[in-house]
Structure 1
Amino acid sequence: MADTSGTSPAANCLEKLKSYVKTPKGFILFAEILISFIIIICYAASHYGGYSAVAIVEMVITIIFFVVFMMELDKQFLVVNWVWSDFFRATIAAALYIITSLICVIGGAGDGARIAGGVFGLIAGLLFGYDAYTIYLQLKSARQHTAAATDDHA
């Protein structure tokens, strides 16, 4: 018989999810996933559905980083520098969202869903930019805390 007194792995994962979303980084990643999903819906309702590719790719990559940080896999897989990878992810996503959203807002006359997707995309660009800024501050403080070795052996 199986021991049913312990917690199941699914319950453990759900508890990790709940506790990680309450952290500042977890909340930002969750908000990025949510706004990307909203943008996908807006662009899917638009006449020009091709703009949804940026939102789909960024949502999938953000989900991957969310799972890695939530399950603390970044502490197990030390081959990848997760902080720098996250910084590049957020920076590239901010740039792509702002560029595609400006194109959609400027050229979306008569297509309300495309304009709505563009407006949400601009908000997403700001959110991803804020995430990149917080990661930059984290990288900057980590670099200041690691003092360089001073050898006075001439």
Structure 2
Amino acid sequence: MADTTASGSPSCVERLKSYVKTQKGFILAAEILVSFIIIICYDSSWCGGFTTLPICKMTFATIFFIIFMMDLDKQILVINWVWTDLFRAAVGAIFYIITSLINLTIGSRDGACMAGAVLGLFAGLIFAYDTYTIYLQIQSTRQHPAAPTDGKV
């Protein structure tokens, strides 16, 4: 019988644990968790129609978490994953901030809606930070032309 504990590739749980310890994995896990809490808040309030945004953002963050955790971004080269992730995070930041401000300015419908709105602002900040880190990653990978050294302008 073959020994399954000495396999060459790590198990899914080991990959999960090691990926959550990275900066990108931690940000994606935070986006998933906060979006899930916002879903619960909006679903238990009178403003249940706002649950569409956190459901979509949690789903997309989970998909990207799995893709990056399993290194599928290095195998599926048809899609530019960095720019797609930048677009996902930027749209999430903008939409979370807009919907949260709408819920906060309409007035206090109930406590769960207000809690979802405040957490939505926090989620908007997390998505904005994710956008910033992806932007820095794109900037660091760009090639800059060498400056002339002959002294001519």
Using structure 1 for the length normalisation, give the TM-score. 0.88
Gaps of 5+ in 1: 149-154
Letter in 2 for 1:30: A
- Find the counterpart in structure 1 of residue 151 from structure 2: none
After superposing the two structures, state which structure 1 stretch, 134-143 or 107-116, moved more: 107-116
Alignment partners' CA distance in 1, 2:35 and 2:68: 19
- Find the counterpart in structure 2 of residue 112 from structure 1: 111
After superposing the two structures, state which structure 1 stretch, 103-112 or 31-40, moved more: 103-112
Task: Quote the offset at 1:107 in angstroms.
Answer: 1.2
Task: Quote the offset at 1:108 in angstroms.
Answer: 3.6
CA contact (8 A) 2:46 2:109 kept: no
CA contact (8 A) 1:104 1:118 kept: yes
Alignment partners' CA distance in 2, 1:71 and 1:147: 34
- Find the counterpart in structure 1 of residue 50 from structure 2: 51
Letter in 1 for 2:50: Y
Alignment partners' CA distance in 2, 1:20 and 1:147: 34
Alignment partners' CA distance in 2, 1:27 and 1:113: 26
- Find the counterpart in structure 1 of residue 138 from structure 2: 139
For the structure 1 residues 108 and 4, does the alpha-carbon distance in structure 2 shift closer, same or farther, using more than 3 Å as the test?
A: farther
RMSD value, Cα: 1.8
Task: Quote the offset at 1:48 in angstroms.
Answer: 1.5
Letter in 2 for 1:137: L
Task: Quote the offset at 1:141 in angstroms.
Answer: 1.0
For the structure 1 residues 107 and 7, does the alpha-carbon distance in structure 2 shift closer, same or farther, using more than 3 Å as the test?
A: farther
After superposing on structure 2, the runs of 4+ consecutive aligned residues of structure 1 that deviate more than 2 Å are: 2-8, 145-148
- Find the counterpart in structure 2 of residue 72 from structure 1: 71
- Find the counterpart in structure 1 of residue 150 from structure 2: none
Q: Counterpart of 1:41 in 2: which secondary structure?
A: helix
Alignment partners' CA distance in 1, 2:94 and 2:4: 50
Spell out the pairing of 1:3-152 with structure 2 (5 A cutoff).
3-6=2-5, 12-143=11-142, 145=143, 147=145
In percent, how many aligned pairs have the same letter?
58
CA contact (8 A) 1:108 1:114 kept: no
Alignment partners' CA distance in 2, 1:57 and 1:110: 24
CA contact (8 A) 1:36 1:56 kept: yes
Alignment partners' CA distance in 1, 2:70 and 2:144: 27
CA contact (8 A) 1:21 1:27 kept: yes
For the structure 1 residues 86 and 75, does the alpha-carbon distance in structure 2 shift closer, same or farther, using more than 3 Å as the test?
A: same
For the structure 1 residues 146 and 20, does the alpha-carbon distance in structure 2 shift closer, same or farther, using more than 3 Å as the test?
A: farther
Alignment partners' CA distance in 2, 1:142 and 1:135: 11
